[in-house]
Amino acid sequence: RDQWAKFFALDYYPHNRVDLYTWNDMNEPSVFNGPEITMPRDNLHKCSGDAYNIEHRDLHNVYGFYHHMATVQGHLHRAPNVRPFV
C-alpha cells in the first residue's frame, strides 16, 4: 500500500493537485467467458502456507479493498486536511 500511495504525492507528476480525484476501476479478478463474469466461486486460492484452501467467494473483493485503502492513504498523504474522493 505504501508504494501505491507514493504515486499520489504532489511532486510525482506535473499535473497533480490537491483537488485531483481518483477512479479505481473494477479491481477484481475477471474471467469474461463464464456465466458469472468472474472466477468460479469455488475456485481455490493459496493465501498463506502451502494449501489452496480459500474459496474465491471468500476473497473476491479483497484486492479491490486494499487498492482503495492505498489510494485513500495516498490522498491523505498528499493533502491531510482534505477528505479523499475515490
Give the whole-angstrom CA distance, residue 63 versus residue 55: 14
Over the chain (86 residues), the average pLDDT of each successive run of 10 is: 91 88 79 74 85 87 89 94 91
CA distance from start to end of the chain: 15
Longest Cα pair distance anywhere in the chain, in angstroms?
46
Give the whole-angstrom CA distance, residue 73 versus residue 48: 25
Strand spans (E) along 23-64? 44-45, 54-55
- The reported pLDDT for the residue numbered 73 is 95
Q: What is the pTM of this model?
A: 0.75
